[in-house]
Amino acid sequence: MFDWRWDFTFEILPRLLLATVNTLMAAGAGYAIAVVLGLVLALAQRTPYRALTYAVRELVEFIRSTPLVLQIFFVFYVGPQFGIRLAPWTAGMIAIGLHYAAYLSEVYRGGLESVPKGQWEASLALNLSPARTYFRIIIPQALPPSLAGMGNYLVGIFKDTPMLSVIGVAELMHTANAIGSESYRFLEPYTLVGVIFLAISLPTAALIRVFEAWVRRQLGMS
């Protein structure tokens, strides 16, 4: 066969599982940033201030049209030239969080636009404040249609965390590379990385679908 060594596999497994925790933390923290910042980017495009809408729109387009790995390098290596020195983790979270915030803002935008105009009119007729209208009336209704897209990007950000290895964040890919260069064996670590990613992505995607149905039920919208 392909010279697969089980003893080596079990030897490196604990190290890779430990790195998986870092991968999950990176994905979780990056996603948390993206979820909140994405909403800010989406709402900023809906204010009456045209210049703000335009600036944010261009920023989102710019982020979406350039590679993530470039953005990671940029934050980490170009930042210090302007006196912004960031630890790999911090730089990585900012880059990946911002990148996915741009994508999520588009998901939110679609969700917000799917809320019927009548809901805005009823809110105005009841004299609800703009903040109350957004957070109690519009966003809860924009959420269910956004969840599928949000779920896709949760899996997406998780699968993109290996890019953080380029600036030395000790996540799964980085650890697998380290094991490879120490032992000159790449088959087992890379295979394990793939298996671990698969073992997390697939159930997550299924859970998101369950969650989506649950949210709809909670909001009385199914």
Partner 1 sequence: MTKETLSDFPLELEGADVPMVRFSKVTKRYGDLTVLDSLDLDVAEGEMVTIIGPSGSGKTTVLRMLMTLETINEGVIYVDGKPLTHMPGNGGLVPADNRYLRKMRANIGMCFQHFNLFPHMTAIENCMEGPVHVLGLPKREARERSEELLEMVGMADKRDQHPSRLSGGQQQRVAIARALAMRPKVMLFDEVTSALDPEVIGEVTNVIRRLVAEHNLTMLMVTHQMGFAKDISDRVCFFFGGRIEEQGKPEDLFGNPQRERTQQFLSAVKEAS
* Distance from C-alpha of 30 to C-alpha of 63, rounded to nearest angstrom: 15
Query: Taken in order 199, 162, 90, 52, is the CA torsion positive or negative?
Result: negative
From 3, 6, 116, 210, residue interacting with partner 1 (rule: CB under 8 A): 116
The position carrying tokens 């087992």 is 188
Cα maximum dimension of the chain: 73
Of the listed pieces 36-44, 86-94, 113-121, 147-155, which binds partner 1 according to CB under 8 A? Answer: 113-121
Q: Residue by residue, what is the 3-state secondary structure of 118-178?
A: HHHHHHHHCCCCHHHHHHHHHHHHHHHHHHHHHHHHHHHHHHHHHHHHHHCCCCHHHHHHH
As measured in angstroms, the least distance from the Cβ of 214 to partner 1 is 14
* Interface residue with partner 1, options 28, 88, 140, 156 (CB under 8 A): 140
Q: Which is nearer to partner 1, 150 or 169 (CB)?
A: 150
Report the nearest approach of partner 1 to the CB of residue 130 (Å).
9
Binding piece for partner 1, criterion CB under 8 A, among 69-77, 129-137, 175-183, 198-206: 129-137
Q: Among 126, 195, 198, 213, indicate the residue that binds partner 1 (CB under 8 A).
A: 126
> 129 or 181: whose CB is closer to partner 1?
129
Between 1 and 131, whose beta carbon lies closer to partner 1? 131
Q: Which amino acid is at 56?
A: V
| Region of 56-64, 121-129, 151-159, 172-180 interacting with partner 1 (CB under 8 A) | 121-129
63: CB partners within 8 A, 6+ apart: 71, 98, 99, 101, 102
Interface contacts to partner 1, rule CB under 8 A: 116, 118-119, 121-122, 124-129, 132, 136-137, 140-141, 219-222
